[in-house]
Amino acid sequence: MKISTKSRYGTRAVLEIALNLNKKNLTRKQISKNQEIPSAYLENILISLKTKGIIRTIRGPKGGYELAKDPGDITVFQIVDILEGSTDLVPCLENSNVCARNSICVTRGVWSKLQKVQEDLLNTITIKDLVEETKELYSSNFSI
């Protein structure tokens, strides 16, 4: 699976919101600036993530975006799956009718196993994990 810019930006946007958990709601403009994501592109990403229940919007003067779930309950795979549409490595994994060789194709099993390993790995990494890594990274940069 090739991870698109949309998924990379989406993961960074959710991470940015999580880093500000219990502080303030972030506007699209703030997320865009902090994560260096084009604002217009970010808008579509945030809409998709909101529609699927990863984030929610808060209206009003102190409004913005917040997580709809606990950071420990949001996996990188969920974000990628939402933003990529299909995460299948090859078309025959999604639709076996695509290829006439499906029932005798031994390489299909290879692609299926590889896809499972990728999905399993991305399902083990949560936004909470990324928040902790980020805090550790930045705290180590400021040591004397």
Eight-state DSSP code of residue 103: G
Q: What is the pTM of this model?
A: 0.88
Q: What is the pLDDT of residue 139?
A: 82
The enclosing domain of 12 has a CATH number of 1.10.10.10
Q: For residue 65, give the H/E element and its range.
A: strand 64-67
CB-neighbour burial class of residue 10 (10 A; exposed 0-12, middle 13-18, buried 19+): buried
Its domain, for residue 50, covers 5-141
Structure tokens at 143: 């040591």
Distance of alpha carbon 13 from alpha carbon 17, whole angstroms: 6
* pLDDT level of residue 23 (50, 70, 90 thresholds): confident
* pLDDT level of residue 134 (50, 70, 90 thresholds): very high
The total number of structural domains in the chain stands at 1
Strand-pairing partners, residue 24, are none
- The full length of the chain comes to 144
